[in-house]
Amino acid sequence: MEKSFILDPKVRKFAVWGLVLCVLITLAAQIFAHAAMTNWFSVKVSNITIWNKNGLMVRGKLFRPENATESNPAPGVVYLHGYQNNRETSDPYGIELSRRGFVVITLDTLGRGNSDNQFSESEPGFDPTYGAESAFEYLQNLPFVDPERCGLGGHSLGGEMSYLEAMQNPDVKAIVFSGFAYQDDSTTEIPQNMLMIFGKYDEYRQRMTGTRDFEAEWLSSSQTLAAFGISSPDFDTTYGEFDLGTARRVHMTRTTHVPESFNNGAIAEAVTWYSQALNPGEDLSIPAVEQIWHYKEVGSLVAMIFGIFSAMPLGVLLLGIKPFSPLAEAPNTAYKYDKKTFWRSFLINGGLTLLYLALVMVIFGIHVYVVPIDKIFPMMMVNGVIFWFLVINLIGFVIFKRWVKKTRVGRPEVNFKELGVSEKEDRIKLNWSKAWRGLLFAFVIFGFLYALEAIPETFLLIDYRYKFPYASDMTSYRWLMMLVYFPLFLIGFIQVNILLQAQLRPKPGKTWWQTVLRKSVVGIFVMVVPLLINMAIQYIPLFTTGFVPFVGPGGALVGFVINIEHMIILLAMMVPISSVLYEATGSVYPGAILNALIVTWMFTSSSVIAPLPI
């Protein structure tokens, strides 16, 4: 077996500087994101713990401007994220309100982030506001908050939670929700001072509003008549009086569901609304259209990319020392894919990928009609993804074994050993000495990656995210969930690496990094294009005709389609890592183990543990 490229002193020197650079950029990006979150250090942002009325712990983030003091109490807002999210999703609103003088609390609502979990609506003390009621009371009792000038807000399910609380609590003097709609129980006076923000292309509009064409139908609906007291009001026009609590307004963004939380116009509307309702007579200190929340999102994205990619230079360095050096071997270079193999593999993988939503429905059918699975696997959004991922990769593995054993004119003879799948040519058998070293190798790298995110997050309150939560520090319960889900992701990623690193191995480049680059481009293309097709099937009809093809019971499938964007970014980060490790070890397993660890961390740290809202 040829020596691995990682033994080249120039490569190792390059890896040292690469690791240092990745770590420095990650830390700098986290600090930059923190600076933006605190309005360049003029707003104090801290973790808070709230004990909910049912005894569960709710973690929150408190934004306190400099001018909020006991002698000068400020207006306050509690803002809530949606179903498959955490408190960081609410930061655009927290940042923009706090830099304009509002005290803001954003929550990890129950079952999200680092808060405690409530598993079923039938359990004693189930809180339908998921902590919103207790958080609002906590806000009112802060000595630097004026309890007479407090409001609520939220997106999607968070909008529903805030709406439920505002309907029953007269102390809620203003409410802003997006991705949710007021109901028939609203009146011209309850809830007080209500702003609704909704996207023209919101995928949940049938569930939330009962309309197919929101722009044409909503303002003439019975709900609007009940809330406004007039028929067919106009968008972006305020009706009623703030001092009487009867102000009403609907703002429509030209977005889908998720971007409603990250839309400049929507955020400007909310900032202006809270100012008019809770801070009457005072002009905004900063114009509503001048926003800086983008910097925090970009900073956390850059931190995530370089933090995760630090696995590559670290892996190269570890493979040069004991006990990991026996893993360092060059891969077989005799085989490279031909056009027929490539397109056959691409089409098979693409066809299996298109089974995504069908397999999601299968696992939920099993859960509802055969045997409940949420006692062991309580992350229902993860369950849909992992069932699809497992099934298609198990099928892919069967196809791969047949492909290896089937000879074809014009294709170099291949066997399991030369492809880095087995110690034997004709069957799959592991070298257990390498197996435990590869497992330890991946866990060491993962431990470093976790520390690089979690330690700065403790001080800076910045996790890895961009629009969606990706990775954060974890509670003991979420670590337990990682143990539950890791073996399932590992099975899937072994086959993913067999497909991308062995079966679809391109012609080697002149240098190791050219080979890695070619493999990464091919791998990302093979994995991402079918997922993009899945999204196109949903969004081309939505944007052209208003029809949403995949909705499902209670809109359940919409969430899984939205989740595809999250999966695309995850896979795009995993492919280069596994490509480097395959070229460094000649085996599919170290990269597969590390991929599975990272992806399991990202799913179990960020996914909801709560009943599906259907």
Select from 79, 68, 431, 396 the least CA-distant residue to 260: 79
Select from 37, 155, 41, 142 the least CA-distant residue to 96: 37
Average pLDDT, the chain: 94
DSSP secondary structure string for all residues of 528-554: HHHHHHHHHHHHHHHHHHS--S---GG
Provide the token pair at 421.
């799948």
pTM: 0.96
Specify the pLDDT at position 5.
85
Specify the pLDDT at position 410.
60
- Which residue's entry shows tokens 């001092």? 243
28 pLDDT band, cuts 50/70/90, is: very high
Res. 1: pLDDT tops 60: no
**Pairing of β 43-51 and β 248-253:** unpaired
What is the CATH architecture of 40-291? 3-Layer(aba) Sandwich (3.40)
pLDDT tens digit sequence for 133-144: 999 999 999 999
pLDDT tens digit sequence for 484-525: 999 999 999 999 999 999 999 998 888 889 999 999 999 999
Dist CA 110 CA 604 (whole Å):
15
Res. 415: pLDDT tops 90: no
Domain ranges of the chain: 40-291, 335-418+433-606
174 pLDDT band, cuts 50/70/90, is: very high
Least confident of 146-150, 355-359, 410-414: 410-414
Specify the pLDDT at position 612.
72
425 pLDDT band, cuts 50/70/90, is: confident
Average pLDDT rounded to a whole number, residues 44-60: 96
> Residue 95 in contact with residue 574, Cβ under 8 Å?
no
